[in-house]
Structure 1
């Protein structure tokens, strides 16, 4: 906030002081008192207008009104958006409200009793939120749908989010392990393309270390590297956007050998972006062998056989004496990829 502001009475920019004052306000026919911050001119002592203070006082008045009449608060709406990982506009569209309605509520506009009660109901009852989603999901984008679906599944079906089926060793559970590791607030993201490569390297190095597959699903030699089709169907709606972080997943569904490989792949390959990992798989034998008879951009659903994956990465493991995370990190960091 500026140290000086215009005073109408002095007709010049002046220094001011800010003092608290009890103000009587009337909102929707209801009178109440609240504590406002008022700026006073140091020269003449009259109150002066400062936009930032006025905006803050409007928010204070609305907050007090909401408290008195049990209207949903701004922090509750923020909690709603975070809980369901949904944006302001998609939420408004699901509800059939104007696109800017939620934005205006966050800026301090007081919702009606009807709208307040509806938001509170959905905040506190994920089952009703799912019902709303199923009824109106055609109103929002595919990416917004996928993000909301993941959150609703995480909240309403935690058991299925811990393990996708009785066999913990599958591509979906491996993908969830990685999605719980990211910290979006620190700029870490995993896209679908990167996730596919991470899951591929889990299979590759598990085969090299333990001579048996981590999971039974086969990967195919697609244009942009190895891809697990079943996993593709689950995450395809994200496109090239970051996949939503999971907050609830039980790593103990994996045994110690599996955890070793998962953590190794995360620590070594997790720091690279999707395009780098794509290029890395392109210079390695298993994918190259399958793609030899295909044009650069030609589609293929041909499987990269597990035996080829095992033989190649076992050879790399022995040749470079890779027995730890540090060993693998040194090997990968020394690879040169030419654009």
Structure 2
């Protein structure tokens, strides 16, 4: 058993202490409250000693007593809302038309007004109420992905029969969960490599979607438009990471690409793709900066990555490291 040790002002030395339960009376915002708290007592002289953790506990107990008496939502319920509805603290504040940091302050212990508390309590209790806010105010969110994620989570709570996510969306959710600082540019290139290397190892494509040979490399157009508002900033991932609906083979290949290619910036990955045949063949004689929606045909993509697998003697997906290292050396 670990013994609690603290400095005792009376004994003038470090001593063991015990915790006892006490009934305290204190004032908060002009009101008197009685609540159950804790007290730390020196084991040697019996005097009260200061323990920061116990003081924090007692302060929370006082605030909880205030919340209960005034029907203010509990801190526990506030903290549960983002996870329950799959939305970040800042996006939730924007959705509610509050200051961007308002909900974050409540999560840190600030006391909401009764009006705001009632809204949060109703959100916590009633998924249908939250869903109506989400639909009405979705234009206040900075990204479509935040809305889509929260919508799916909310529909599950409401018992809706959801259409299964497309495999590309499952992969994106996994990438955003694992790669905390992936930008829209990097995401496009990583999806391209997942598509290519999955075919190289499995003889089939993981996505149905085609990518196009844009000026800055391969791009999946619908995914580009979904995250274009982030521009050069990392895409905001989910608050929670659900277990992805991926097979063991899919996850093994994706994890290797995360390890060996997500370590590079989007601009570096763009330079990789500019030296690879699928993009070069599709662009043809187009000027470097010219816009284009030419599709990189899966036949060309699959053929190239099959050759890469053979050339680099890839036995399993961990060998993708050999290719990424060589490509980085080649562009420097």
Asked if these proteins are the same fold (TM beyond 0.5), I'd say: yes
Q: Does the 8 A contact of 2:37 with 2:61 survive in 1? A: yes
Q: Does the 8 A contact of 2:190 with 2:262 survive in 1? A: yes
CA deviations 1:23-77 (Å, max 9, x no partner) are: 5344567532247899xxxxxxxxxxxxxx9999765532221144542123332
Alignment partners' CA distance in 2, 1:59 and 1:124: 23
CA deviations 1:175-204 (Å, max 9, x no partner) are: 334345x0x6xxx33332222222211221
* 1:283, distance to aligned residue in structure 2 (A): 1.5
Q: Does 2:231 align with 1:231?
A: no
1:164-243 correspondence runs (5 A) = 164=166, 170-180=167-177, 182=178, 188-239=180-231, 240-243=233-236
The match for 2:279 among 272, 283, 287 is: 287
CA deviations 1:99-156 (Å, max 9, x no partner) are: 6654554454433444323211112333321211222233x3423x532431231342
Taking structure 1 as the reference length, what is the TM-score of the superposition?
0.71
Aligned to 2:116: 115
The match for 2:317 among 322, 325, 336 is: 325
Alignment partners' CA distance in 1, 2:162 and 2:273: 32
Aligned to 2:132: 131
The match for 2:242 among 238, 243, 248 is: 248
**Aligned residues, how many?**
311
Q: Does the 8 A contact of 2:94 with 2:141 survive in 1? A: no
**Structure 2 CA distance for partners of 1:322 and 1:114, relative to 1, 3 Å:** same
Aligned to 1:7: none
1:35-74 correspondence runs (5 A) = 60-74=61-75
Alignment partners' CA distance in 1, 2:309 and 2:164: 32
Ranges in structure 1 where 5+ consecutive residues have no aligned partner: 4-18, 39-52, 165-169
Aligned to 1:33: 34
Q: Does the 8 A contact of 1:162 with 1:250 survive in 2? A: no
Aligned to 2:291: 299
Alignment partners' CA distance in 2, 1:148 and 1:81: 13
The match for 2:165 among 163, 177, 187 is: 163
Alignment partners' CA distance in 2, 1:268 and 1:88: 31
Alignment partners' CA distance in 1, 2:71 and 2:184: 43
Ranges in structure 2 where 5+ consecutive residues have no aligned partner: 1-6, 8-18, 40-53
Alignment partners' CA distance in 2, 1:99 and 1:331: 43
Alignment partners' CA distance in 2, 1:97 and 1:212: 48
Residue 278 of structure 2: SS of its match in structure 1?
A: helix
CA deviations 1:274-326 (Å, max 9, x no partner) are: 33322211121211223342333221111112222222222222222222123
Alignment partners' CA distance in 1, 2:217 and 2:80: 39
**Structure 2 CA distance for partners of 1:129 and 1:237, relative to 1, 3 Å:** farther
